[in-house]
Structure 1
Amino acid sequence: MDETAVPGEAVLTDDGIRLWAARAADGPGGPVILCHGGPGIWDTLEEPAALLREHRVFRWDQRGCGRSQRSGPYSTERSVADLDAVRRHFGLERMALLGHSWGARLALSYALARPARVSGLIYVSGTGIDDDSTWHPAYKETFRGRLGGHRERWEELRDRRGDRTEAEDREFAVLQWSVDFADRDRRRALERAEAMATPWFGVNYACNATITAELRRTSATDGLRDRCAALGLPVLIVDGENDIRPRRAVDSLERALPDVTRTTLPGAGHMPWSEDPEGFRAAAGAFLARLRGDSR
């Protein structure tokens, strides 16, 4: 799908920042807002939006990212407030949230802060609520292994951060994103990463560094676990079996949540909808249908 062809709308936040948002589907089902990963990149969730087209689906670029105004401040709290601005813009009293990777943590944070506005949460390929030292070393090892013959070039571009051209920034991102696909045909994985990077909006590294540092400070706290334990909303956790981020990272979140279902899609990676679209559609669709039934 050509991202430039997606009709967007300008959402104004309470501190005057302009966000890009779009109505991605207008089916008869209830509303779902998608929260993309990063931090610091843009919405690349056109595939799951299409898989959920039987619902009213909304997409947006987080502040400082993609088609949204490139301006801070950057924080989880600020991102939660921005997501609420998107909700208000589209006139939604209550909606389901689907968050991917960092966006899963953002969606969880919104649900914890404003539970009355959320009917349910689909937590896709997140990394849980423990300290990242419990999973990041294994992730790094698998990451380098999956780069294969592209590792030397990736390391060269990594070490030249700040001096890279825009084309080299994009090349670096494509190599990095390619390992998120479990496809054994690495050419196919690179093609999928190329599609994610088209069109290219540029990574906001300041946003990435600021929010990542905040998450490291605020994870693995009793307060966060207690808030998750008190969350009275249904949650679906969706994992790709071959995500290079160890899925055990999510175990503590699953244990903390009182109303949780977990689905692992065999053979899929960090973008599970890409490598098992029917499995993803079935899991997410059944969960959203349950929410609709519960609301009657």
Structure 2
Amino acid sequence: MAVTEGTVPFRGFHTWYRVAGRLPAPDGKLPLLVVHGGPGLPHDYLEDLAALAEDDGRAVVFYDQLGCGRSDRAEDPALWTLETFVAEIDAVREGLGLDRLHLLGHSWGAQLALAYMLGKPSGVAGLVLAGVIADAPSYAAGTRRLKDSLPAADREVIDRCEAEGTTDDDAYLGVTMSFYQRWLCRLDPWPEHLVRSVLTMREDVNAALWGPEWNITGSLRDWSVTDRLGEIDLPVLVTSGRHDMVTPEVVRPVAEGIAGAEWALFEKSAHMASVEEPDHYRHVVEDFLSRAEREPAGG
């Protein structure tokens, strides 16, 4: 499988990318551009999707968002806005000549993909929204309910450390990991590429935009596009896990709000279905992308 790496210019910085497979694909299959989660979490945990290039001949394009991973480590807090990262999608497309493509966004990346598509870009044939959030307050309410299902002692640690501003305390980090092992990824141990992403997350970027899962304190705490979902008019696949911290109550309005959207629920997964059920996940995604390519534009 061919793999190429490089950077594209973006706002005076460089955004790093990796392409698994060939651009353009020899058989005409459209490339899949993958928008990772976070904010501030590099793309590494999504590397299982690269096998689409080997198994199905579809080029898969990864990139690390500005400030994290292998992209330039910008330090200006004014950059950490939704608008910055939406614009970066266009920069990657332009730099790699991705005139026609599919888009897959996971978690925070699905928020970016939604915001991007609401800008009515041309050339996107299919959209995959994985672990998608369209309303931040509803998501926070859902994760608070999950937090409340933790043992009382764990909840006490969370509440105390957040009240005291000691969320870097080992006890808080340990309880947070217990939460993530239930609703982020249920594999034990976590695979190396997921650990690599988590250990290199850009904490200040995450805090500026988001913050704790159950108590969003960043600038996106009131973000919602639920009332605009009807504007999206292309083939859409929504994916989530049975044990996902993005609960069905959060996902359902997205799946029902986009006309014709499909919703695939992965029974053995939490928030990382592409990691927890990689073969099954790729099969579902490739089936959808192949069908989306056959649909007329705007169908």
Distance in 2 between residues matched to 1:138 and 1:199, nearest whole Å:
26
Q: CA deviation at 1:114?
A: 3.4
2:129 aligned partner: 123
2:18 aligned partner: 22
Distance in 1 between residues matched to 2:197 and 2:250, nearest whole Å:
32
| AA in 1 matched with 2:81 | S
Query: Any idea what SS the aligned residue of 1:135 has?
Result: helix
1:57 aligned partner: 60
**Structure 2 counterpart of 1:140, from 140, 147, 155:** 147
Structure 1 residues 243 and 88: CA distance shift in structure 2, 3 A:
same
Contact 1:98 1:121 in 2 (8 A): yes
Q: CA deviation at 1:208?
A: 0.9
Query: Any idea what SS the aligned residue of 1:115 has?
Result: coil
- Runs (5+) with no aligned partner, structure 1: 1-5
Name whichever of 19-28 and 66-75 sits farther off. Answer: 19-28
2:69 aligned partner: 66
Q: CA deviation at 1:210?
A: 2.0
1:3 aligned partner: none
Contact 1:129 1:250 in 2 (8 A): no
Distance in 2 between residues matched to 1:257 and 1:21, nearest whole Å:
30
TM-score normalised to structure 1 length: 0.79
2:34 aligned partner: 34
Distance in 1 between residues matched to 2:198 and 2:229, nearest whole Å:
36
2:189 aligned partner: 190
Q: CA deviation at 1:205?
A: 1.8
Q: How many residue pairs are counted as aligned between the two chains?
A: 273
Query: Any idea what SS the aligned residue of 1:278 has?
Result: helix
2:215 aligned partner: none
Distance in 2 between residues matched to 1:271 and 1:204, nearest whole Å:
19
Query: Any idea what SS the aligned residue of 1:274 has?
Result: helix
1:9 aligned partner: 6
Name whichever of 232-241 and 108-117 sits farther off. Answer: 108-117
Written as runs of structure 1 = structure 2, the 5 A alignment for 1:74-89 is 74-89=80-95
**Structure 1 counterpart of 2:120, from 100, 107, 114:** 114
Structure 1 residues 94 and 211: CA distance shift in structure 2, 3 A:
farther
Distance in 2 between residues matched to 1:79 and 1:268, nearest whole Å:
27
Contact 2:134 2:226 in 1 (8 A): no
Q: CA deviation at 1:52?
A: 5.4
Contact 1:32 1:95 in 2 (8 A): yes
Sequence identity (%): 28
Name whichever of 93-102 and 121-130 sits farther off. Answer: 121-130
1:262 aligned partner: 263
- Runs (5+) with no aligned partner, structure 2: 211-217
Contact 1:240 1:271 in 2 (8 A): yes
Distance in 2 between residues matched to 1:138 and 1:173, nearest whole Å:
14
Q: CA deviation at 1:231?
A: 1.3
| AA in 1 matched with 2:219 | E
Per-residue CA deviation, residues 215-237 of structure 1 (Å, 9 max, x unaligned), is 22222xxxx33432121111100
Distance in 1 between residues matched to 2:53 and 2:87, nearest whole Å:
25
CA RMSD of aligned residues (A): 3.3
Q: CA deviation at 1:282?
A: 2.4
Q: CA deviation at 1:75?
A: 1.1
Per-residue CA deviation, residues 185-219 of structure 1 (Å, 9 max, x unaligned), is xxx52332x44123776321221122222322222
Q: CA deviation at 1:126?
A: 1.8
1:230 aligned partner: 231
Name whichever of 46-55 and 107-116 sits farther off. Answer: 46-55
Distance in 2 between residues matched to 1:64 and 1:272, nearest whole Å:
26
Per-residue CA deviation, residues 108-153 of structure 1 (Å, 9 max, x unaligned), is 11111133232121011123336234412123235x46xx99x989
2:245 aligned partner: 244
Contact 1:111 1:117 in 2 (8 A): no
Structure 1 residues 199 and 208: CA distance shift in structure 2, 3 A:
closer
1:103 aligned partner: 109
Structure 1 residues 138 and 202: CA distance shift in structure 2, 3 A:
same
